[in-house]
């Protein structure tokens, strides 16, 4: 059977959730059945041999693929790949910029393609096309050639439908499927010794509330910090640890100082991927209190699944696709993301009830083993690939 082409703006060793997903996809497609087209990255010489597929790197830095010159080079290189390998279907890791070469390949070679949708790109697209008739026209032309959009949640799927419906007569008729994301239960699991991570990051005492996320506006880390005094009124030894980097660090540091929480909050900065499973095991409760902020929102929330896989009860903000990653009352609690009182109540409830923590953690682990794992995600994508190439 002819291979599948993956047009990836994000691919290992690049960091981030989309890159991680593309790496998991590349590991699970049958050996030799995938051809990957992506940009050049430092460290790729060591990373590329870990995948059982051809990885063709365009001779330009990956971040430059979105420029006009980069898109021209990427499209030409992808066209050469298509002529050599004769793929039967193509995946785009994101709508833009990967959708541009994909649409050209569809027009020139008849290659059907699918776009993986993560959520925020359709908010951004909607804002742009409201300001520019040209951007509306180019987006409509691109999506009119797309065979299928695969959304990471029902929320993302509904958003995509809503944005395209707003175009009226120009709305493309694209099939939209939902494939919820997953994680790796063999890597993220209970029982990993947390002591080295505790020593390295000074995580003595506790119990510990954990967030693993970028320090960005929509992640709700500030709301958890504001909730901490009320949590400590119930559980005086409770402390909060945040793993991640981002533009809000200075603001969060000032907020911590303002509330007198210097001894109760740890901002760890960058934590290597290999340390994350142990960090989850060092915590007692995981919180991702994301909310909608301008064009930023959580399309699903992979960190929630990583925490669940490690047996942690999870608390998520009722925003975007997070309620689809947290089974409310079963694997964790879904709360109002704007209310520190709601965060405090949920965290205090779980810290005070060890039996509920264990029950929710076990249910989260079971859900990851059964459904929220990369093996199931890639099997779903392969089935969609086969369906649309057959059409």
How big is the chain, counted in residues?
391
Q: Exposed e or buried b for every residue in 84-104, given b needs 16+ CB within 10 A?
A: eeebbbbbbbbbbbbbbbbbb
Query: Hey, what are 362's tokens?
Result: 């076990």
Same structural domain, 151 and 63: yes
Cβ(243)–Cβ(271) under 8 Å?
A: yes
Give 138-142 contacts, CB < 8 A, sequence gap 24+.
140/167, 140/170, 140/171, 140/172, 141/103, 142/95, 142/99, 142/100, 142/103
Same structural domain, 203 and 244: yes
Whether the predicted model's global pTM rises above the 0.85 cut: yes
Residue 168 has pLDDT above 80, yes or no: no
Task: Respond yes or no on whether the N-terminal peptide bond of residue 97 is cis (omega within 30° of 0).
Answer: yes
pLDDT tens digit sequence for 313-362: 999 999 999 999 999 999 999 999 999 999 999 999 999 999 999 999 99
* Total of domains in the chain: 2
Query: Is residue 187, in this structure, part of any structural domain at all?
Result: no
pLDDT of amino acid 253 = 97
Query: Is residue 188, in this structure, part of any structural domain at all?
Result: no
Query: Is residue 16, in this structure, part of any structural domain at all?
Result: yes
Q: How far apart are CA 362 and CA 364, in angstroms?
A: 5
Same structural domain, 155 and 213: no
Cβ(94)–Cβ(150) under 8 Å?
A: no
Vertex 264, ends 263 and 270: CA angle to 5°?
95
pLDDT of amino acid 132 = 79
Same structural domain, 159 and 306: no
Least confident among 63-67, 111-115, 165-169, 359-363: 165-169
Residue range(s) defining the domain that contains residue 297: 195-370
Same structural domain, 150 and 26: yes
Query: Is residue 175, in this structure, part of any structural domain at all?
Result: yes
Least confident among 60-64, 196-200, 240-244: 60-64
Confidence grade of residue 139 (pLDDT, cut at 50, 70, 90): confident
Which residues fall within 8 angstroms of residue 37, CB to CB, at 6 or more apart? 5, 6, 7, 8, 56, 58, 74, 77, 78, 81, 101
Cβ neighbours, 10 Å, residue 39: 23
Query: Is residue 12, in this structure, part of any structural domain at all?
Result: yes
pLDDT of amino acid 151 = 96
Nearest CA to 70 among 41, 100, 31, 95?
100
Same structural domain, 225 and 260: yes
Same structural domain, 381 and 358: no
Q: How far apart are CA 247 and CA 258, in angstroms?
A: 19
Same structural domain, 149 and 164: yes
pLDDT of amino acid 138 = 82
Q: Exposed e or buried b for every residue in 49-61, given b needs 16+ CB within 10 A?
A: eebebebbbbebe
Query: Is residue 44, in this structure, part of any structural domain at all?
Result: yes
Same structural domain, 309 and 171: no
Query: Hey, what are 340's tokens?
Result: 């520190």
Same structural domain, 282 and 145: no
pLDDT of amino acid 130 = 81
Same structural domain, 86 and 73: yes
**Three-state SS for 314?**
strand
User: What are the DSSP calls for 204-228, one per residue?
Assistant: -SS-EEEEES-S-GGG-HHHHHHHH
- The CATH number linked to 163 is 3.40.50.2000
Same structural domain, 117 and 221: no
């Amino acid at each position: 059977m002819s291979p599948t082409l993956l047009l990836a703006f994000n691919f290992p060793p690049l960091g981030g959730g989309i890159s991680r997903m593309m790496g998991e996809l590349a590991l699970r497609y049958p050996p030799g059945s995938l051809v990957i087209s992506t940009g050049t990255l430092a460290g790729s010489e060591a990373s590329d041999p870990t995948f059982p597929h051809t990885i063709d790197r365009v001779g330009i830095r990956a971040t430059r693929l979105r420029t006009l010159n980069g898109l021209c080079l990427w499209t030409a290189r992808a066209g050469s790949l298509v002529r050599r390998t004769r793929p039967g279907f193509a995946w785009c890791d994101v709508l833009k910029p990967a959708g541009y070469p994909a649409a050209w390949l569809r027009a020139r070679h008849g290659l059907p393609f699918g776009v993986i949708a993560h959520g925020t790109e359709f908010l951004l697209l909607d804002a742009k096309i409201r300001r520019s008739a040209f951007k509306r026209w180019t987006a409509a032309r691109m999506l009119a050639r797309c065979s299928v959009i695969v959304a990471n949640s029902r929320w993302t799927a509904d958003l995509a439908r809503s944005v395209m419906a707003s175009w009226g007569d120009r709305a493309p008729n694209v099939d939209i499927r939902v494939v919820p994301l997953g994680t790796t239960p063999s890597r993220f699991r209970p029982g990993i010794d947390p002591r080295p991570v505790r020593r390295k990051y000074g995580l003595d005492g506790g119990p510990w509330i954990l967030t693993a996320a970028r320090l960005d506006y929509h992640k709700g880390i500030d709301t958890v910090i504001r909730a901490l005094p009320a949590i400590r009124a119930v559980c005086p030894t409770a402390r909060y640890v945040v793993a991640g980097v981002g533009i809000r660090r200075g603001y969060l540091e000032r907020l911590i100082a303002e509330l007198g929480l210097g001894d109760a909050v740890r901002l760890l900065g960058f934590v290597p991927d290999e340390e994350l499973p142990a960090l989850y095991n060092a915590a007692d409760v995981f919180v991702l209190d994301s909310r909608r902020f301008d064009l930023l929102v959580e399309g699903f929330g992979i960190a929630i699944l990583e925490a669940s896989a490690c047996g942690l009860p999870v608390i998520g903000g009722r925003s975007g696709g997070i309620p689809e990653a947290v089974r409310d009352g079963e694997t964790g609690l879904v709360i109002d993301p704007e209310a520190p009182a709601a965060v405090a109540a949920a965290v205090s409830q779980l810290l005070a009830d060890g039996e509920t923590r264990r029950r929710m953690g076990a249910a989260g682990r079971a859900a990851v083993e059964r459904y929220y794992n990369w093996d199931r995600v890639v099997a779903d994508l392969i089935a969609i690939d086969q369906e649309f190439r057959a059409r």
